[in-house]
A and B are shown apart, each in its own frame.
Chain A
Amino acid sequence: MPLRMSRQVMDIMIMLITIMDTVTTIMGTTTMATGMTRTVMPVMAMTSMSMTSIAVTITIIIMITTASTTTTVILMLMTTNKAADDSPPNDSPALSADEGAALYRLMTWLSPAFPVGAFSYSSGIEWAVEAGDITDAASLQDWLSAMLSDGAGFCDGVFLAHVHRAASDGDDKALREVAELASAFAPSRERQLETTTQGKAFIEIARNAWSHEAMERLIGICDSPIVYPVAVGLVSAAHGVPLSATMHGFFHAVVSNWISAGARLVPLGQTDSQRVLAALEPVVVTTGHRAMAASLDDLGGATFRSDIANMRHETQYTRLFRS
């Protein structure tokens, strides 16, 4: 039986992921400083997160464990005050066991701490910064908005949706075909590397830490490399995590990673990064809805210069990223 997730749960989930993302960015910056020649992201205090009106304050302890470090961060989660009488905490219904499990898993799989190596890819943003196409928060936002609505973002969302449905419906033929199409749907060598290595890592970690009988069968059906959106759709379907929540979580992970790359390269401060993330929310919601409704015939993009940026990145002289 598929797990259900309410709208409120989705809202909270997105905020939680955003905060975890910020934490991991700080960690990532520290890690990168040891291996990279330049580090541009200033480590900023959590207090710089600008929130306007505060209605509810919840203290959450998030434990992030990586292979080398365990960091405990105490965060203040603040919800914006939409309306004075809007869902006071005492009336908030508890999550069912299924909802709780779905939220827990999605937040884990789509967190920057999930070790698929996302932090090492920029999807051509590194070249776009080098070439002067991205110079500040506004130009980063426009570039990413196009990548979302008219580029890799929308297409990956369509692949995720079709894989999730085929896997949930037991349509093995459709699953195999979508997986094959997705594996060939790259505009350059580095984009191919990016989506293939992340997909492979996602499947490996899921197999070892989040194993599920249904997942092994589904993996066996795919006879082409399992790329990142296919991996996410396949694993979430196997675990009965609903498609819509997976879709929005996936977009959040992708956009956050792009912003994280852009922020390190431009460079941008934490607050500017959050502003870009906030400004892209409606684009993510719209693109998610379009991807959910799209047939494979509706697939398509037009980010020609982003494609060229991906290709030009191959010969970029100084590089922090693998794409």
Chain B
Amino acid sequence: MQADNTTLSSSAISSSSAIFAANRARGAVKFDVHFAEGKTRRRQLHESGSLRVRFPSPEDDGLSAMFVNTAGGAAGGDRFDIDIAAGEGTSLTVTTAAAEKVYRSHGPAAEINIALKAGAGAHLSWLPQETILFDQARTIRRIDIDLADRATLLLCEIVVFGRAAMGEVMQTGSFVDRWRLRRGGRLVFAENVRLDGDIAAKLARPAIGNGAVAIGTALIVPGDEALIERLREATDGAGGEVGISCWNGFAMARFCAQDAAKLRADMMAVLGRSGAMLPRMWLN
């Protein structure tokens, strides 16, 4: 088919792009949990397309949810929407069954939209496994977090540039990641990560990655000086680089490493020090 590309008529191009569009994966999951009879219980759940969520086992100290992407990853043009609301007084931990892979794209980006809400007194942990970007992958992700004043949050995200275990380096592509954290309606943290074009060359620069293959970020709400002092103790034997800070009532840890496995270990050490229970999937 590639050999014929030069002779394709415009109608053939439009029909091939229609076929392309029709073959894109769409996945959406929306659910909310509430506190009833002393436990966090699932309320409404909507699943569509290739995205599914499972609630492995009921636990006394909260509910666990695990995402499964039956499409086996995200390709250019795919779109996934996740919308989770943790009602007042609930405790919810969300993770993924496997690392999310974003495959090489010839043009369109894979789009991932995540909206997380937590009500008063609720605790939400968003602890997915790594997102692995293949060489020439294009990704646009958005994470919107909306916390009530007395809600608590533990969130981490790890992005690996290229299939590091296979020795693949992400040479080019695009990664755009927009995070917005609101607390009591007020925007307390906003960040856009944007890495595109010659990604390997950019990651090689000392102010960007110094040859890093993985980055990670953790947000903890509430976060204060006492908390980050504890978290910093966990970074003494770090295999990669870790920075920890707190402001506007939350704490942030940022990770950067030339080895994806080391970054994951550093992340686990810091999260562990926060007093969080990591999902079992993380411990495998």
Interface residues of A (CB under 8 A from B): 128, 133, 139, 142-143, 146-147, 150-151, 155, 180-181, 183-190, 192-193, 224, 298-312, 314-315
Contact = CB atoms under 8 A, between A and B. Distances in A.
Given A151-B207, A189-B245, A303-B207, 17 more contacts: A142-B206, A146-B205, A155-B192, A184-B180, A187-B254, A192-B248, A224-B187, A300-B178, A300-B192, A304-B209, A304-B212, A305-B206, A307-B254, A308-B242, A311-B252, A311-B254, A312-B243
B151 to A, nearest CB: 18
Contacts of A308: 241-243, 254, 256
Binding site secondary structure of chain A: helix
A314 B245 contact: yes
Contact of B256 (A133, A186, A192, A305): A305
Contacts of A184: 180-181, 187-190, 248
Nearest to B181: A184
A143 B176 contact: no
B208 A304 contact: yes
Interface of B: 176, 178, 180-181, 186-195, 202, 205-210, 212, 215, 232, 241-248, 252, 254, 256
Contacts of A189: 245-247
A143 B206 CA distance: 7
Nearest to A190: B245
Contacts of A192: 247-248
Contact of A299 (B194, B206, B209, B247): B194
Tell me which of B195, B207, B248 has the highest count of chain A C-beta atoms within 10 A of its own C-beta: B207
A298 B193 CA distance: 10
Contacts of A143: 206-207
A302 B246 contact: no
A188 B247 contact: yes
B234 to A, nearest CB: 14
Nearest to A147: B207
B208 A180 contact: no
B195 A310 contact: no
Contacts of A180: 187
Contacts of B188: 184
B192 A301 contact: yes
B237 to A, nearest CB: 16
12 contacts: A133-B207, A143-B207, A184-B248, A190-B245, A304-B256, A306-B208, A307-B254, A310-B243, A310-B245, A311-B243, A311-B254, A312-B243
